[in-house]
């Protein structure tokens, strides 16, 4: 399994620690006899939007808790923003904004009071700019109107926004967001996506855990997939898609035999098709050193094959995900 992850990791990036916002080596957490996280080697490049995927209970949140110094690793090491955690916790965490396992607030305090409290807890924050920063963070997540409302009166979506506002109280170098769109309506989800894109555009590294694959596909540049406490794949989104096996080509043509001959000549394994209709469909599997789609079409046309439809198909992220983690995962598209 780990060998498989290794093939996907961009080794050049993994070796250059200076370019990594998060790096772990053999990070392991055991709770009594149960292994929650097993030998994790994370490599999150600076500036990346890293999608941390995995079924419920695969160890995502435990990993995040270890990265933030809430939970002690049983073995292995973790570096966040170039410093070892949890040893450098006081230096690292002021530069990290985080949403961990859902937002949490003191119900008897207002939204703004809750944010002021978390800000005051950071001994490096400056008190004189606190109120301004709280107001700006609330504004940014669209909660200004509810600033004076007690947190127990907040809806789930509002709490989620308030949690995001807490992560934005200061300029951050790294945002760790655990299920950031949980509980948000479609509009809120779009806003959060736009927010994450704007952070990434500012150069902030975003580490976002999710099980919403559509969200990850839209947002992320890099992906890591957890299954049963292990990292089963890691790399850029494109690398992960590609690792899912070879692409398939589908040609719709009345000249099926000629098409088969041409495709076979390009090293494509053509499936023996049935002439069900006059517009026959030829399907084949591309080799590893695949030709560009346009080159295949050019070769077909050069042999006077009448191409009426053409597609190169790859496994979707969802298919890859199920392959990597097994069935029984709550996929929400």
Residue numbers of the site for other proteins (CB under 8 A)? Answer: 65, 68-72, 83, 87-91, 93-96, 98, 100-109, 113-114, 116-129, 133, 166, 170-171, 173
User: To the nearest whole angstrom, how small is the minimum distance from the Cβ of residue 274 to other proteins?
Assistant: 58
**Shortest distance, position 326 Cβ to other proteins, whole Å:** 25
Identity of the residue, 173 or 291, whose beta carbon is nearer to other proteins in the bound complex: 173
Nearer to other proteins, 83 or 316 (CB): 83
Instruction: Pick the closer one to other proteins by CB: 114 or 189.
Output: 114
**Complex with other proteins: residue 93 or 296, whichever CB lies closer:** 93
Phi/psi of residue 163, each to 5°?
-60, -40
Least distance CB 316 / other proteins (angstroms): 34
- Alpha carbon distance 59, 53 (integer Å): 10
3-state SS class at 111: helix
Q: Which residues contact 131 (CB under 8 A, 6 or more apart)?
A: 116
Three-class secondary structure of residue 224 per DSSP: strand
Gyration radius of the chain's alpha carbons:
24
DSSP at 93: G
Choice between 108 and 311, CB closer to other proteins? 108
Are 299 and 266 within 8 A, CB to CB? yes
Residue with Cβ nearer other proteins (162 or 317): 162
Smallest gap from residue 232 Cβ to other proteins (A):
24
**Cβ at position 169, least distance to other proteins in Å:** 9
CA 258, chain centre distance (Å): 43
Q: SS3 for 42-88, per residue?
A: CEEECCCEEEEECCCCCCHHHHHHHHCCCCCCCEEEEEECCEEECCC
- Cβ 93 to other proteins shortest distance, Å: 4
Contacts of 123 (CB under 8 A, 6+ apart): 90
DSSP 101: S
- Rounded to the nearest whole angstrom, what is the least distance from the CB of residue 327 to other proteins in the complex? 28
Residue among 134 and 251 whose Cβ is closer to other proteins: 134
Q: How far is the CB of 38 from other proteins (least distance, A)?
A: 17
Give the rounded distance of the alpha carbon of 116 from its chain centre.
30
d(CA 6, CA 277): 45
Q: What is the DSSP string of 232-301?
A: EEEEEHHHHHHTT---EEEEEES-HHHHHHHHHHTT-EE------SSSEEEEEE--SSPPPHHHHHHHHH
Residue closer to other proteins, measured from CB, 71 or 286: 71
Measured CA to CA, the distance from residue 134 to residue 168 in angstroms comes to 9
SS3 at position 30: strand
């Amino acid at each position: 399994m780990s060998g498989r992850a290794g093939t996907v990791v961009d080794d050049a990036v993994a070796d250059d620690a200076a370019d990594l916002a998060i790096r772990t080596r053999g990070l392991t957490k055991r709770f009594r006899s149960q292994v929650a996280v097993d030998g994790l080697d994370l490599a999150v490049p600076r500036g990346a939007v890293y999608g941390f995927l995995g079924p419920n209970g695969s160890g995502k949140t435990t990993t995040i808790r270890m990265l933030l110094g809430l939970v002690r690793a049983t073995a292995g090491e973790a570096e966040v923003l170039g410093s070892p955690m949890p040893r450098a916790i006081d230096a690292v965490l002021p530069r990290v904004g985080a949403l961990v396992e859902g937002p949490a607030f003191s119900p008897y305090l207002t939204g703004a009071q809750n944010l002021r409290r978390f800000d005051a807890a950071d001994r490096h924050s400056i008190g004189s700019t606190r109120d301004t920063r709280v107001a700006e963070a609330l504004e940014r997540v669209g909660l200004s109107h509810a600033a004076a409302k007690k947190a127990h009166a907040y809806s789930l979506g509002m709490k989620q926004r308030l949690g995001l506002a807490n992560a934005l109280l200061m300029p951050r170098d790294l945002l760790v967001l655990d299920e950031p769109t949980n509980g948000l309506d479609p509009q809120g989800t779009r806003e959060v996506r736009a927010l994450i894109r704007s952070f990434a555009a500012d150069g902030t590294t975003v580490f976002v855990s999710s099980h919403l694959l559509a969200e990850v596909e839209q947002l992320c540049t890099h992906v890591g997939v957890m299954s049963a406490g292990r990292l089963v794949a890691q790399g850029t989104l494109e690398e992960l898609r590609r690792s899912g096996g070879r692409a398939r080509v589908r040609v719709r043509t009345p000249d099926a035999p000629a098409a088969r001959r041409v495709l076979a000549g390009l090293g494509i394994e053509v499936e023996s098709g049935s002439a069900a209709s006059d517009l026959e469909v030829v399907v084949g599997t591309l080799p590893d050193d695949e030709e560009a789609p346009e080159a295949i079409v050019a070769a077909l046309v050069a042999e006077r094959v009448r191409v009426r439809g053409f597609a190169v198909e790859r496994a979707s992220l969802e298919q890859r995900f199920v392959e990597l983690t097994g069935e029984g995962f709550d996929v929400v598209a």
